Amino acid sequence: MKEGEVCVYHTKAGQWPVSREVFPPDAEYPDGAPIEGNIWILGFINGQWYAATWDWLRPGQQCKHESADTFGRDQIGIPPMDGSWVPQKGDPIGLMMSTIARTDLRAGEERTNVVLIEWPY
């Protein structure tokens, strides 16, 4: 993790099933944007661990560009990890990647191990 970028490197990047049904076709992706999975964040909030998908991953993608002050704010809509929760410096958080898990659509049932870190910002 560095300022403006969160990466979860894993051995399955580019190997999970891809779906083009998540986003509708557009000029850039007339067949729909290829999506391989989701990045997850786990937060220790009020003495309990919570987990939520945070964003989409394209095939082979292992990093998301996000500033520390907006990390997850506009992507997670379910309390207590909605926009009201922002990790503080020193907070324990977990990160993992999975096959598509944000909708009822599934293109696999795999995930990485959770990596625990201390929020640095």
Separation CA 27–CA 38 (nearest Å)? 23
25-57: pLDDT as tens digits: 999 999 999 999 999 999 999 999 999 998 899
Taking phi over 0 as left and psi of -120 to 50 as alpha, with beta for the rest, 14 belongs to left
State whether residue 7 is helix, strand or coil: strand
Query: Which residue, 21, 13, 114, 110, is CA-closest to 58?
Result: 13
The average pLDDT across 70-89 equals 79
| Average pLDDT of the residues in 104-116 | 89
pLDDT range class, residue 69, cuts 50, 70, 90: low
> Which domain, by its residues, includes 10?
1-121
| Tally of domains in the chain | 1
Mean pLDDT within 56-73: 81
User: pTM for the whole thing?
Assistant: 0.87
